């Protein structure tokens, strides 16, 4: 689902995508690629000792899913800024839905309010600023 940013009302959901649950193998591959081998993400016994029922997904991997939503939904727009705030851990095996709401438009570009949610729990929230649409001034 993607909506035209030029005509969408402020506050409207302009992009949404459900991502399949991340697996232990996904976390292991991300850990190797990123260098983030924190045992909270890889070792179930360690995660349980830390108070979690199982390993948790890397926060930056969840942030990457939000980034993917933005870049795939609006490929013609350059991303000028992207920030996120971690809200709650995402457990391995939990599906996540990412969505973008139109936050505003001005001469600097289009602001998006972002969130990644597992069920009714927001695990990550953020903002993105997209370059103005060259075809609409």
Tokens 């870049």 locate to: 71
pLDDT the model gives residue 2: 64
Task: Enumerate domains of the chain plus CATH numbers.
Answer: 13-136 (3.10.129.10)
pTM of the model: 0.90
Task: Report the distance separating Cα 56 and Cα 24, nearest Å.
Answer: 9
**In the structure, what pLDDT confidence band is assigned to residue 6 with cuts at 50, 70 and 90?**
confident
pLDDT in tens, 52-109: 999 999 999 999 999 999 999 999 899 999 999 999 999 999 999 999 999 999 999 9
Kindly state the DSSP code that residue 41 receives in the 8-state scheme.
G
User: Contact, 57 vs 27, CB < 8 A?
Assistant: yes
Helix (H) or strand (E) segment spanning residue 62: helix 59-73
Contacts of 115 (CB under 8 A, 6+ apart): 66, 98, 99, 122, 124, 125, 126
């Amino acid at each position: 689902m993607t909506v035209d940013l030029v005509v969408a009302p402020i506050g409207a959901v302009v992009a949404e995508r459900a991502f399949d649950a991340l697996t232990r193998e996904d976390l292991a591959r991300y850990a190797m690629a990123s260098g983030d081998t924190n045992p909270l993400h890889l070792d179930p016994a360690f995660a349980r000792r830390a108070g979690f029922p199982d390993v948790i997904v890397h926060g930056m991997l969840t942030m990457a899913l939000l980034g993917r939503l933005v870049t795939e939904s609006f490929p013609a727009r350059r991303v000028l800024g992207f920030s996120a705030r971690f809200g709650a851990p995402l457990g391995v095996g939990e599906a996540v839905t990412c969505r973008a709401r139109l936050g505003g438009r001005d001469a600097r570009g289009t602001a998006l309010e972002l969130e990644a949610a597992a069920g009714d729990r927001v695990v990550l929230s953020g903002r993105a600023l997209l370059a103005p649409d060259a075809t609409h001034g």
